[in-house]
């Protein structure tokens, strides 16, 4: 009864493994757009709400500046966004999409379709899974 769990039986490994599988699924779809998977997530966040401070992006994506700063610099170098000091408060940096970054949203629709298809296409079931994961995420974040 108190037998040690096999790796397939660990929820944490399932999450770890599915995350990698999703990352591998996105990679070839995003490569033609010159994007990595985390960069794509940053774009999704910015498409929803543009012109945000680095920390605000970090709160939403659960990433600190030690990850975001170099990531955003690469995206700035790729001309997907701009990084400008806020004149109101010179400590903060406003991240804003360029036209190039905004326009990628059209192509992202195809990516989403491909991913949905690879996942089986049952929207109801995938939404339910997403809600369960978000609930778990909130439980873990409030530790």
**Interface residues toward DNA, by CB under 7 A:** 16, 20, 23-24, 27, 36-39, 53-56, 62-72, 74, 83, 89-93
Is 139 a binding residue for a copy of itself by CB under 8 A? The answer is yes
Residues in contact with a copy of itself, counted by CB under 8 A, come to a total of 53
Picked from DNA, a copy of itself, none, the partner binding residue 134 (CB below 5 to 8 A depending on kind) is a copy of itself
In eight-state DSSP terms, residue 86 is E
Give Cα separations from 48 to 8, 41, 97, 122, 127 (angstroms).
36, 11, 11, 25, 19
What, of a copy of itself, DNA, none, does residue 114 touch, CB below 5 to 8 Å by kind? Answer: none
Cβ contact 101:80 at 8 Å: yes
Task: Confirm or reject binding of residue 96 to a copy of itself (CB under 8 A).
Answer: no
Q: Which of 1, 8, 77, 99 binds a copy of itself (CB under 8 A)?
A: 8
The region of 75-83, 85-93, 95-103, 108-116 touching a copy of itself under the rule CB under 8 A is 108-116
Residues 12-71 binding a copy of itself (CB under 8 A) are 12-22, 24-26, 37, 41, 44-45, 47-48, 60-62
Q: How far apart are CA 117 and CA 104, in angstroms?
A: 20
Nearer to a copy of itself, 48 or 90 (CB): 48
- The answer to whether the CB of 84 falls within 8 A of the CB of 94 is yes
| CA gap 33, 108 in Å, rounded | 9
On the 0-12 / 13-18 / 19+ scale of CB atoms within 10 A, 90 is exposed
């Amino acid at each position: 009864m108190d037998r040690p769990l096999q790796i397939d039986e660990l929820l944490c490994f399932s999450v770890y493994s599915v995350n990698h599988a999703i990352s591998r699924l996105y990679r070839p779809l995003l490569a033609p757009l010159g994007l990595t998977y985390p960069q794509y997530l940053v774009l999704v966040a910015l498409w929803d709400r543009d012109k945000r401070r680095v920390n605000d992006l970090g709160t939403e994506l659960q990433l600190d500046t030690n990850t975001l700063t170099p990531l955003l610099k690469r995206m700035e170098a790729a001309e997907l966004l701009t990084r400008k000091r806020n004149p109101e408060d010179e400590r903060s940096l406003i991240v804003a999409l360029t036209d190039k970054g905004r326009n990628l949203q059209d192509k992202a629709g195809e990516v989403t379709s491909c991913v949905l298809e690879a996942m089986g296409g049952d929207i109801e079931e995938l939404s339910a899974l997403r809600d369960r994961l978000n609930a778990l995420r909130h439980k873990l974040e409030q530790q």
